[in-house]
Amino acid sequence: MNETDALKDGYIDLRINNLVKDSRNKYQKEYEIISQINDFLSIIQKETEKKGTEKQNVYITVSLIEIQKLYCSAVLLFERGLPESANIIIRTLLELTFKIVEVIRNKEFVEDLLVNDFYEGRNILLEIEDHKLYNLIPKNLLEKLLTEYEHKINGKNRPKTKVNYLKEKNNMSDEYIIYRLQCDYSHFSMKILGEDISILDDIVLINGNFKLDKFKSSILWLISIVGISIRYILEEYLEDENIINDYQKLKKRIDEYLINN
């Protein structure tokens, strides 16, 4: 497939099936690790379900389900040569990790996240009211929704839930640097857009090809990011020796792969 085909026909095309098939044949070792991590995420998710129905436990279980979905989605995008979109997903995964760590260490943070969502919803409605955008939401419905949000907020101060705050509170400076690096590659900056552009003698060439050459390095990065979430959940929440031992064995296999590749 050349750049003209990709730009003209778009990425949703049956030809992608052949590209994926080739990729899975070429990177069998990588897919074996991908599958093992996916299976392990299922195992620890089932273990968190056993912890009960308190808000903290439910939040962590649901977050693990979301991590697994984000992880699988990123793999699907990487193998289709779409690393830019996959990197947005990895950024989301990292943001979720900061929240998981805070919930593990502070059960009340689940309530803070709910209150923050109420504030966010209310502020959007206030913006609509301020600009009289009643074509978006009729005025009478808007007033009703605002009343409901005020009732939910119930005079509580808006809690701090931003990643920068959570980084300081939980001593996660290393993870924050990784997060900043990830943000730099997921906001479609000129650096990223520039990868699709070449300038030769005042002629601009646009490359719309799939970026399949980035698959291996991208998958290794994704595995490292998912490992951050897994480590905190295992060491600070589940504290199950058998599962931790299983994870150490999996980590050893991944480390051996990295050394040999």
Q: Mutual orientation of helices 28-49 and 215-233 as an angle, nearest 10°?
A: 20
- Whether 125 is in a domain gets the answer no
Domain around 229: 3-106+176-260
- Whether 14 is in a domain gets the answer yes
- Whether 33 is in a domain gets the answer yes
**Domain count along the chain:** 1
Q: Could you report the per-residue pLDDT of 137-152, keeping only the tens digit for each?
A: 999 999 999 999 999 9
3-state secondary structure of 256: helix
Instruction: Report residue 6's pLDDT band, with 50, 70 and 90 as the boundaries.
Output: very low
- Whether 133 is in a domain gets the answer no
- Whether 79 is in a domain gets the answer yes
Cα distances (Å, whole numbers) of residue 254 to 10, 200, 238, 248, 260: 35, 42, 22, 10, 10
- Whether 44 is in a domain gets the answer yes
Q: Could you report the per-residue pLDDT of 43-79, keeping only the tens digit for each?
A: 999 999 999 999 999 999 999 999 999 999 999 988 8
- Specify the pLDDT at position 3: 45
Q: What is the pTM of this model?
A: 0.86
- Whether 157 is in a domain gets the answer no
- Whether 171 is in a domain gets the answer no
Q: Could you report the per-residue pLDDT of 76-128, keeping only the tens digit for each?
A: 988 888 888 899 999 999 999 999 999 999 999 999 999 999 999 999 999 99
